[in-house]
Structure 1
Amino acid sequence: MSIGRFSWVSGLYFVGLAGQVLAQSKPGLPDPLVRSNGQRVTTAREWQRVRRPELIELFTSQVYGRSPGKPVGMTFQVFDTDATALGGKATRKQVAIYINGKPDGPRIDVLLYLPNRVRRPVPAIVGLNFWGNHSISTDPGIRLATSYLEAGKNNPYVDLDCVTDNRATEACRGINARQWPLDSILDRGYALVTAYREDMASDVPATRFSTGVHRAYPDWQNRPDNFGTITAWAWGLSRIMDYMQIDRAIDGKRVAVFGWSRLGKAALWAGVTDERFAAVLSNESGSGGAKLFRRGQGESIRRLCTVFPHWYSTNLRQYMDKDTLLPFDQHEVIALLAPRPVYIASAEEDKGADPIGEFESAKAASVVYKLFGRDGLPTPTIPPLNTSVQGTIGYHLRTGGHDVTNLDWRYFLQFLDTHFKKK
């Protein structure tokens, strides 16, 4: 499968069939504004109609894999509504998404908290969680996740001693609440919408591709551009967006997608593939997310394809040990979000995510935002620690390691206020 001819900032680069040895690259990054035929894109219209589809096809086939469209038989069931949740601050809703319309088929449980003290419809932040909907709050009304739940005594983010036979117990409520500051989000007038990653696609070696939404699409794996787990999570976020388009309490035109770590990778790809997401918040998404591969720093393609072989398409494996020679890179994924707002967050001690590579990626994407008359990232140099820079692209580098903190959320909400609450 040929992936064509690509232009670098500093010259032309050629790559042949998948699996061939890549030629020695020249310095610089692939120029997102140079088409596969070598011609340069000069207008926003040309980007949208010609170059953007080229890049989406490239990243779909070579990195993320293909996904099915919106399921024809999908149905929604609101199985819980409580207008006095969280001491009266919020209305809690829980919605079951039946992917094929069958109660015994793939099901995604969605948890929504809507602020009560603001006029509706409200803007929303949607993001997947790592340890079940019940983990984000001690609220006893949240349905316990029934999908597989990892266990372990040494997890640095949550206490998973509450797990029995890889299933959640009542003791698991609120185990990850510190990463989801509900009060702050609701006080700013945003709804929070979340779902458990394992409901959509398994991250467990023994059950990958055999649970969640993959059950409905068994024939999408035996191909080099297979329906991998990152893409399944992104696809699931779009199914949640399908529901938010019909819930009158949500302003469907002001929905941001959020993700941290591997779920930050999924959030970026969801933003690319579903333009209904009005903004993207990507926290420490690293390799295959916001960071540049071509720097050769942080988590490598070989690690992605060997430790997490289910995350991406099989085609990505041909680039193992060739990170610095790629004919594409992740700044082009960020550029595919233009002209919508996107925030990239890094942490000083998160070496695997390569904070400098995440910053440089955001900076290199700005050239596409300028086609739309937007400012992109408003600084050419990485900002001081714990300082946010915000244009249409936002960025900060905070102290600490791989995590989601109140400081991260403070800047995310500030960024969304700027773009979602303009007069």
Structure 2
Amino acid sequence: MRWLWVLGAVGAVCLGLTGCVTAMLPVVKLDPAFAPAAPPALLGAFADDLAITTRAEWEARRAPLLRARFAAEVYGPYPTNVAPPRVLSRDPIAYERLADIATVEQWSVAVGNEDTPPHFNMVLVLPRGASTRTPLIIMQNFCGNRAALPDAPAEIAGPLTEVLWVCDANWAHPLIEMPFGRYINAPPYADILARGYGLAMFYAGDVVADTVSGAPDGMRKLYGADAPDAGAIAAWAWLYSQAYDVLAADPRIDAARIAIWGHSRNGKAALYAGALDHRFAAIIAHQSGRGGAALSSGTEGESIAKMIEAFPHWFAPAYANAPSSPAMDQHQLLALNAPTPVLLGNGARDAWADPHAAWAAAQAASPAYGLYDVEGFSQTEMRNANVNANLAYFMRPGLHGVYEEDWRVFLDFLDAHLGASRTQGAAR
């Protein structure tokens, strides 16, 4: 009877994560022929703008137009007229699991203009004994830092806003990992450190809660009483840049080699952050799905309507009215990241995220990389990433989650573009 209990518990956990993945998904065919029709040509005429032929035209005309359209019609704008982020505290943490190979700190970072501004807690993990500045991965997590640090010391702060019930249920964490992968909560610290990278992680919900009821209060604190029509993803994307600001000032960190990483909804935020802030050295958006890398015009998996119904606080209100074949689509978001290296991860049983539509978006975004004379999307098969290209894609077996294979590809991609040593961060 024990297997019945386990099955029921796994089912309960999956229900607690509704919107990330659905049960019994079909296998996504590893064949680009199943990708949706190509969207309108990236560099062709768009709205009132003529066709683009040069990098200068892209940067002066098309890119600003697209950023404005994404702000108005999909995500909303970034907060404006806010004070720079401030580090309120930096506290060393004694973390036994990594004591021999890393130093661990907890930072409290204030953002916004209020007398008691919103803040988020960030955990910084750096290789012990590094002789040069360390390249860094900034990542957002789903459940707060305590869930992302197994056997977290008492000093590690919990999330500052409401989280999914499974985040607070320690007994459920192993069950979450069964369908969603070993690294859905906590990344493989030892592997990351062995490749020469540091890691900074935080829960964006500390500032804007990932709930329908809690998000409006956080948005008002960031945007003011007359908040524009912005969704939580815009705020979460902005927090990647706020984290960059304070981390880049640390002399132990190589500011020129700071990458950002996000899975699922955090992958959507990472792509929007990369589109608006080109200081990041690389973007990894894993299974970002609709509203992320997947074309809105794709027909497999989650629809815009279903996503908005489940998570109305994520996007600008106008996105709910997006047509099924929009003139503006997610290939343009990927293109706005150019020339920054971007890696798109996918799962063969994650049809909900529409990997075929992400493939089509990557193909259609590639001309933007050509404007910068770097290799864009050149793959002909979906399984393995061309990690040397500045726009890459892979699809491994398995569900919507974070697996050991995923991190191998993530780190190979970062090695190709950030030039980290396998022992410590060597200068590129």
Q: TM-score range by the shorter chain?
A: 0.7 to 0.9
Structure-2 residue corresponding to 1:261? 264
Within 5 Å, give how 1:174-323 maps onto structure 2. 179-211=186-218, 214-221=220-227, 223=228, 226-319=229-322, 322-323=323-324
CA contact (8 A) 1:341 1:392 kept: yes
Quote how far apart the aligned CAs of 1:216 are.
3.6
Structure-1 residue corresponding to 2:18? none
Quote how far apart the aligned CAs of 1:132 are.
0.8
Tell me if 1:382 matches 2:381.
yes
Give the gaps of 5 or more residues in structure 2. Answer: 1-36, 173-181, 421-427
Could you state the TM-score of these two structures normalised by the residue count of structure 1?
Answer: 0.82
- Structure-1 separation of matches of 2:225 and 2:275: 24
The farther-off stretch of 46-55 and 95-104 is 95-104
Within 5 Å, give how 1:43-54 maps onto structure 2. 43-54=54-65
Superposed CA deviations along residues 228-267 of structure 1, whole A, max 9, x for unmatched, are 1001100111111110121111111111110000010001
The farther-off stretch of 294-303 and 191-200 is 294-303
Tell me if 1:330 matches 2:333.
no
Quote how far apart the aligned CAs of 1:68 are.
1.4
Could you state the TM-score of these two structures normalised by the residue count of structure 2?
Answer: 0.81
Quote how far apart the aligned CAs of 1:400 are.
0.5
- Structure-1 separation of matches of 2:337 and 2:162: 32
Superposed CA deviations along residues 360-417 of structure 1, whole A, max 9, x for unmatched, are 11121111111211121221x3333xx2223111111010000011111101110111
Structure-2 residue corresponding to 1:33? 43
Aligned residue identity for 2:202: A
- Structure-1 separation of matches of 2:358 and 2:186: 21
Closer, same or farther: CA 308–208 of 1 in aligned 2, 3 Å: same
Quote how far apart the aligned CAs of 1:84 are.
7.6
Give secondary structure in 2 for the equivalent of 1:209: helix
Superposed CA deviations along residues 125-164 of structure 1, whole A, max 9, x for unmatched, are 0011001111122241651314234354xx5xx682569x
Aligned residue identity for 2:386: V
Give secondary structure in 1 for the equivalent of 2:332: helix
- Structure-2 separation of matches of 1:252 and 1:144: 26
Q: Give aligned-pair identity as a percent.
A: 32
CA contact (8 A) 1:75 1:101 kept: no
- Structure-2 separation of matches of 1:142 and 1:186: 22
CA contact (8 A) 1:94 1:112 kept: yes
Structure-1 residue corresponding to 2:398? 400
Aligned residue identity for 1:143: I
Structure-2 residue corresponding to 1:11? none
CA contact (8 A) 2:183 2:403 kept: no
Structure of greater relative contact order (alpha carbons < 8 Å, 6+ residues apart): 2
Superposed CA deviations along residues 58-83 of structure 1, whole A, max 9, x for unmatched, are 11111010121362264212331258
CA contact (8 A) 1:383 1:389 kept: no
Give the gaps of 5 or more residues in structure 1. Answer: 1-26, 164-174
Structure-2 residue corresponding to 1:77? 88
